[in-house]
């Protein structure tokens, strides 16, 4: 089967070259989600999806890694926005806010498994020790800080006990555990995901009660 070639994209007018950049990022993200396979996101495939020739990609990104890193960043921002807004909507009760974040976290992962895989299941190079570990991952930093803040509010309200960062890590690890197992092992006889998330959340909250 030959690659489905998109219509040839008309050349951008002068000064609008940056539009192609945005289209490339978008196409790469969609390609990843649609094929469900990071190996299928090749420079050629992305160029084809956008309707442009492969060398054009290099007018906007240094190399393939730079492109993927930026796709990752864009999707991370989306992830943070979705999870945080679900949490904020329920924050009247800080515990409900945390639970809503957990549910939204898992739901995002299951709805966008390949994006989730790229964000949280693919090895991201460790930065040099001493450097800022968040350098180049500002969206990641924001997402984590949002979680720590929500956790701190629940602690301040007396709903749970513990040190905010430690508790946030436990919640994150548990929700990530559920999400990534469901994504990695779809053949396993899982119970209903909602129930698994609910049970896990209830156990954690009970265990963290002051």
Partner DNA sequence: TGTACATCAGTGAACGCGCGTTCACTGATGTAC
Is there binding between residue 200 and a copy of itself (CB under 8 A)?
yes
Tokens of 19: 């539009």
Choosing from 40, 44, 81, 202, the residue that interacts with a copy of itself (CB under 8 A) is 202
Choosing from 4, 5, 7, 8, the residue that interacts with DNA (CB under 7 A) is 8
Given a contact cutoff of 8 angstroms between Cβ atoms, the answer to whether 167 and 103 are in contact is no
What gap in Å lies between CA 99 and CA 204, rounded to an integer?
A: 10
Q: Which does 206 bind (CB under 5 to 8 A by kind): a copy of itself, DNA, none?
A: a copy of itself
Specify the DSSP element, H or E, that contains 147: helix 138-156
Choosing from 102, 120, 147, 154, the residue that interacts with a copy of itself (CB under 8 A) is 120
What gap in Å lies between CA 36 and CA 31, rounded to an integer?
A: 8
What gap in Å lies between CA 138 and CA 83, rounded to an integer?
A: 16
Does the CA dihedral 81-191-200-134 come out positive or negative? negative
Nearest distance from residue 54's CB to a copy of itself, in Å? Answer: 21
Report the interface residues with DNA, using CB under 7 A: 8-9, 11-17, 19-20, 40, 42-45, 52-59, 63-65
Contact set with a copy of itself (CB under 8 A): 120-127, 133, 137, 165-166, 169-170, 172-178, 180-181, 183-191, 196, 199-200, 202-208
């Amino acid at each position: 089967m030959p690659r489905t070639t998109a219509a040839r994209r008309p050349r951008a007018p002068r000064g609008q070259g940056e539009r192609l950049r945005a289209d490339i990022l978008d196409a790469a993200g969609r390609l990843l989600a649609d094929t469900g396979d990071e190996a299928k996101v090749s420079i050629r495939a992305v160029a084809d999806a956008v309707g442009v020739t492969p060398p054009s990609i290099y007018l906007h990104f240094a190399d393939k890694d730079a492109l993927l890193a930026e796709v990752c960043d864009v999707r991370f921002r989306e992830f943070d926005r979705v999870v945080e807004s679900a949490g904020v909507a329920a924050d009247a009760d800080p515990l409900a806010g945390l639970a809503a974040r957990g549910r939204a976290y898992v739901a995002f992962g299951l709805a966008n498994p390949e994006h989730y895989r790229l964000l949280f299941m693919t090895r991201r190079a460790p930065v040099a020790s001493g450097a800022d570990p968040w350098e180049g991952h500002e969206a990641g930093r924001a997402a984590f800080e949002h979680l720590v803040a929500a956790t701190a509010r629940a602690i301040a309200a007396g709903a749970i006990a513990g040190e905010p960062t430690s508790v946030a890590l436990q919640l994150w690890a548990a929700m990530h555990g559920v999400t990534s197992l469901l994504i990695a092992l779809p053949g396993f006889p899982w119970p209903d995901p909602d129930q698994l998330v609910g049970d896990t959340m209830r156990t954690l909250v009970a265990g963290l009660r002051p």
